[in-house]
Structures are given as structure tokens and as C-alpha cells.
Amino acid sequence: MSEIPFYAQQGSECGLFEHAWRQQLPLLIKGPTGCGKTRFVEHMAARLQRPLVTVSCHDDLSAADLVGRFLIGNGSTQWSDGPLARAVRLGAICYLDEVVEARKDTTVVLHPLADDRRILPIERTGEQLQAPPEFMLVISYNPGYQNLLKGLKPSTRQRFVALSLGYPNAEVELAIVQTETGLPQTQAQQLVQLAKALRSLSDQDLEETASTRLLVSAGRLVASGLPMRQACHAAIVDALTDDATTAQALDEVMRALFGDAA
């Protein structure tokens, strides 16, 4: 059995995931960027001892990219499974990350897999794949980016059990930062305090705030010897904004927390 990736549970999400898998129910995970959605799925796949097939969705992702296509080579035409068909055949967990980024017509192919039929029709070959009991479909998206053009249709989302993840509380986030970076508690606490301060800002024009992922990136830089403020500016401030005025305001928050010597 492969090593289970570290994941610090926020609530009862691990139990919900396992119950959904055992009941052959698809799962929709909602949460902001960098809150741990992908790590959570990796953790659960390893915990359930199932292979994991991950697809990072984008606006050019087509149904053929997911299901498969005919390829021409060496004078012959051969069918090549896409990641979704491969996951069904393997009885794997198929994770579609940021599914709302995919083209609208792409998500329609998920419908027969996400209801009680649990089938994947492959129109180009005439094949109809029946998902084995071990197969699970998991999708995720960031509600903060939703708009009228990029959102899940009710006919899609109502096929899924839904789970909302946010940024972890301070105690859990401290454990994550320490485990992922190896920093001593005092420095890890400084990063968690910075995140709390930045997340409380309401007068800055930020699309996203400081995520747990950014804290870990900053922590790794500090662990390698970079000064705290320099590490946080590179991994957090410059990652959050390109606006000089906003960056200066975020730097002022750091100065208030860390002082000039950090």
C-alpha cells in the first residue's frame, strides 16, 4: 500500500467521502483556492486504496478529451481511452478539478455516470461502460469564481452529494503548516496569524485571500533560510496582487505583525 498523503481533517469530510464511495454516490467539493480540495481527494484515494485519475479542467476541455478518441498511427486507426473512460475501466476515483472551467457540453457526458445508471456511453465505438462498484466520480470548483457564464447547471449539480470546504481553523492550519514545512511552532504561528489578518481585510481589491497553500509555500522558503517578510512577500503578497498600492497595504500588515527586523 502506498503512503497516505497528509491531510488535516477540518470536520467530518473524511467520513462523508467514505460513505459516498461505499454507496456509489458522486461527490461535489466546493471551496476557495488553496484550501486543500486536491490534497483531500488524494488522501482519500490512498486511504480507500483506489487509483486516482485527476483532470485539471480548462475552457478548451472537450468531451473527447475526457472520454477518448481515435488516433491514427502506423497505417491504422486505434481507439485511445480518455482519463474518464480509463478511470471507469480501472474502478478508480476520477477527480475533475475546477469542473466549471470545462466547456458546457463537456459536463453533459458526466450525467449518466453521476446518476443511478453509472454508465459511460462511448458513442464513437458504440461501447457502453458500466462503472464497477469501486469507481467514484468527484468534481470540485471554487464558488468565488462563479458567474452566469461559469456555473454548474442544476441538472448537473443535483446529481452529486455536496461538501463545502473552507480554510481550516487556526489550530488545524498551524498543524498543516508545521507538518508541511518543518518550521518551529513560533514561526508557523506567525504565518497563521498573517493569514488571519489578511483574510479579515475588506478594503482591498483582492480576488482571493491568503490560502493555506500560500502559507505552506512561504513556510518552505523560511525553512530554507529566507527571512520571514521576504518569504511572505514573494509567496503571498506578490501571488495575490499585481497592484502596487494593494501590495504596499499587505506589506504594512506584515510589518505590523512581524516588525521591521523579520
Contact between residue 121 and residue 112 where contact means Cβ atoms under 8 Å apart: yes
For the four alpha carbons of 42, 44, 47 and 50, in that order, the dihedral sign comes to negative
More confident residue, 46 or 204: 46
For the four alpha carbons of 5, 238, 233 and 226, in that order, the dihedral sign comes to positive
pLDDT for the residue 262 = 61
Tens of pLDDT, residue by residue over 40-90, are 999 999 999 999 999 999 989 999 999 999 898 777 889 999 999 999 999
More confident residue, 72 or 175: 175
**80-88 contact pairs (CB < 8 A, 24+):** 83/53, 83/54, 83/55, 84/53, 84/55, 84/109, 84/113, 84/120, 85/120, 85/122, 85/129, 86/53, 87/51, 87/53, 87/135, 88/113, 88/120, 88/129, 88/131, 88/132, 88/135
pLDDT for the residue 76 = 85
End-to-end CA distance of the chain: 43
Calculate what percentage of the chain has a pLDDT beyond 70.
Answer: 94
Which three three-digit cell numbers place residue 151? 456555473
Tens of pLDDT, residue by residue over 108-123, are 899 999 999 999 999 8
Tens of pLDDT, residue by residue over 143-171, are 876 554 567 888 898 999 999 999 999 99
* DSSP code of residue 105: H
C-alpha–C-alpha distance, residues 52 and 49, integer Å? 9
State the average pLDDT over residues 13-27: 98
Q: What angle do CA 82, 86, 87 make, to 5 degrees?
A: 120
pTM score of the predicted model: 0.91
Give the type of residue at 154.
Answer: P
Return the percent helix, strand and coil in the chain, to nearest 5.
Answer: 45, 15, 35
Calculate what percentage of the chain has a pLDDT beyond 90.
Answer: 77
The angle that helices 185-199 and 244-258 make with each other, rounded to 10 degrees, is 140
pLDDT for the residue 103 = 84
Which three three-digit cell numbers place residue 32? 476557495
C-alpha–C-alpha distance, residues 128 and 141, integer Å? 28
Contact between residue 58 and residue 102 where contact means Cβ atoms under 8 Å apart: yes
* DSSP code of residue 193: H
Strand order in the sheet with 27-30: 52-56, 93-97, 136-141, 27-30, 161-164
